[in-house]
A and B are shown apart, each in its own frame.
Chain A
Amino acid sequence: MRTADVSHVLRTRLARAAGWTAAFYLMVLPLMGPRRGLWVALAVLVVQALALAADRVPPASRERFAAALRGGGRCSVWMEHCPAWVRTAAPSALLLALAIAGLGMSPYTLDVATNAGIYVLLALGLNIVVGMAGLLVLGYIAFSAVGAYTYAILNTQFHLSFWLALPLGGALAACFGLLLGLPTLRLRGDYLAIVTLGFGEITRITLNNWNSLTNGPNGILGIKPPSLFGFTFSQPKHYFYLLLGMVALAAFFSRRLERSRLGRAFVAMREDETAAESMGVPTLRLKLLAFTLAAFWGGVAGVLFASKQLFVSPESFNFLESVMVLCMVVLGGMGSVPGVILGAVLLAFLPEVLRGVAEYRLIVFGAAMVLLMQYRPQGIWPSTRRYEEFRQEA
């Protein structure tokens, strides 16, 4: 390449970098004001400079770097090759380690970990319908709202025990899932996503306006914490162990489902619906089942949420929460149980870790998501299937 060409390329690059920087500055201006906005502009400029520098790297090494990032998702493949006893023992060992670690955690860490546990439940539930069956559901948090309000209302009005509310909230959410699924599961992907998004919003708006039942935007106060044989859950560590147990249960359930005839059929349906049908898979019924199972776990997570917060209000169940749970599933690795757990824990902890940068949190968060999806579209810990899929495409 001649020098004139190089300088021409450089000029256009610089002009583009300047353009992006200005655009970002204007975008964050109303949010952050002129001075703090400059920091964002500076960050954008740095990213641009890094991109320019990356272009100088010979394509071969860049390709190697990208391949290393993509290939890093071998965890599941690697696990497959582990001896059987390692595979069976690893989850129990991890559980035990977490239980012991819980003894030494500060109340703050325990609290964050408990919240992460609730997210793990939600993500595992959503993974059944999105990751396994391949149906895009956007308003998932609504099922959690059903569970949370079930416990809130029945506990404050009728003193229903937490242990009864747990399956009941799940079952009620499952009923909502069934009712929503019956008319909508004939829809194709994008339409299903829109309808479920609408359902999520309708649920939130209903909770917000049905004053006589839900106390509207003020929410429901005075929920009793769970108790067991006279022992009352009152400290963060109590909830931590409760959630740890529930997560273990949900993970075990997910794992069993994945390996079962039913889980296989979910995946087959996602792969090729017509082929699955010609094998005798009743696709409509199975989609409904996936939907109902996901809703059930959403409801269970909701009951736990209400029992921990001791307060519920509609704003806890906004659209962003649904998006967050979806991000956890996609980021961790759709259809992979360990991946989804990892994704949920990471995304639940990330805002806490980023507390130092206060209001830039969302920007850093967004940047992290974009980078991850750019370099690891299969997720952090993809299932063997997804790993193969992306390797073949690469």
Chain B
Amino acid sequence: MLELSGVRANYGAIEALKGVDLEVKKGAIVTLIGSNGAGKSTALMAVSGLRPLSSGRITLEGEPIDGLPPEAIVARGVVQVPEGRRIFTRMSVRENLLMGAFLRRDRDGIARDLARVLDLFPLLRDRLKQNAGTLSGGEQQMLAIARALMGRPRLLLLDEPSLGLAPSMVKAIFDIIAEIRTEGVTLLLVEQNVNRALRIADDGYVLATGAVVLHDTPSRLLQNEDVKRAYLGDE
């Protein structure tokens, strides 16, 4: 569904991505792991069109999408849940959700999806009128995912969804990720919680200093000595 080939991107003189090749198959959960500064977020931003490429190619179902503006990429069904949630804290929960559907014009469809998303995240239902900034960290992450779902994504890009959350919330988030997949949404997941990410994923890539250093099935990555040492600690 999504393919990155030889993707390079810079922050000024610093090369954050040094030729990344990656493939996401339709209906799969693919996880991208690696330490801080490995280029995971940059890779997602490149897919979303928020970070321009210096070279390389990104295709969605065979069609090139690199160089398109972010709104065109969202319109094609690729939606990102940004790192740090980045919800609109001074807007109500409801307004946040409606912002997720910004590019859609089908009122009925939006209303239906609003109901569907609230079924998926029942705790948001009671807080529709509340300012999003008053939600807890976990609730904000739920809202960020719900907001992205309002855009009817075919491919959802999740950037560190469990970062800084309490263990019970982390579990809830991963349960939801699994549920989203059953609805036919493809997911590309960037995570620092390597253990959980690999247990839910169908395919795994390890990124280090801007390049893919390992690509394997999650079960094999979980057994890999280098991965164990670098990302899993002594679990």
Contact = CB atoms under 8 A, between A and B. Distances in A.
A265 B99 contact: yes
B97 to A, nearest CB: 11
A278 B88 contact: no
A100 interface: no
Interface string A248-273: 00000000000001001101100110
A267 B134 CA distance: 18
Interface centre among B48, B50, B89, B90 (most CB of A within 10 A): B90
Given A274-B82, A275-B82, A388-B133, A280 B87 contact: no
A359 interface: no
Contacts of B75: 280
B134 to A, nearest CB: 8
Interface residues of A, number: 22
Contacts of A277: 50, 70-71
Contacts of B48: 278
Nearest to B147: A279
A159 interface: no
B23 interface: no
Interface in B140-159: 147, 151
A271 B90 contact: yes
B131 A388 contact: yes
A383 B80 CA distance: 30
Contacts of B127: none
Dominant secondary structure at the A interface = helix
A278 B98 contact: no
A276, A280, A388, most chain B CB atoms within 10 A: A280
Interface hub of B69, B88, B98, B147 (most chain A Cβ within 10 A)? B88
B45 to A, nearest CB: 9
Contacts of A388: 90, 131, 133-134
B88 A261 contact: no
A261 B91 contact: no
B99 A392 contact: no
B90 A280 contact: no
A268 B99 contact: yes
Contacts of B82: 274-275, 278
A386 B131 CA distance: 11
Contact of B151 (A272, A279, A389, A392): A279
Interface in B17-76: 48, 50, 69-71, 74-75
A282 interface: yes
B99 A279 contact: yes
Given A264-B95, A276-B99, A278-B80, A389 B90 contact: yes
B184 to A, nearest CB: 21
Nearest to B71: A280
Interface in B94-115: 95, 98-100, 102-103
Contact of A279 (B102, B131, B134): B102
Contacts of B80: 278
Contacts of A267: 88, 90-91, 95
Given A268-B102, A277-B71, 13 more contacts: A264-B91, A264-B98, A264-B99, A264-B102, A267-B91, A272-B86, A275-B86, A276-B88, A279-B79, A279-B100, A279-B151, A280-B70, A388-B90
20 contacts: A261-B102, A265-B99, A268-B99, A271-B88, A271-B91, A272-B88, A274-B86, A276-B88, A277-B70, A277-B71, A278-B79, A279-B79, A279-B100, A280-B70, A280-B102, A280-B103, A281-B71, A386-B90, A388-B133, A392-B133
Interface of B: 48, 50, 69-71, 74-75, 79-80, 82, 86-91, 95, 98-100, 102-103, 131, 133-134, 147, 151
Q: Which 3 A-B pairs have the closest CB atoms?
A: A280-B74, A275-B86, A280-B71
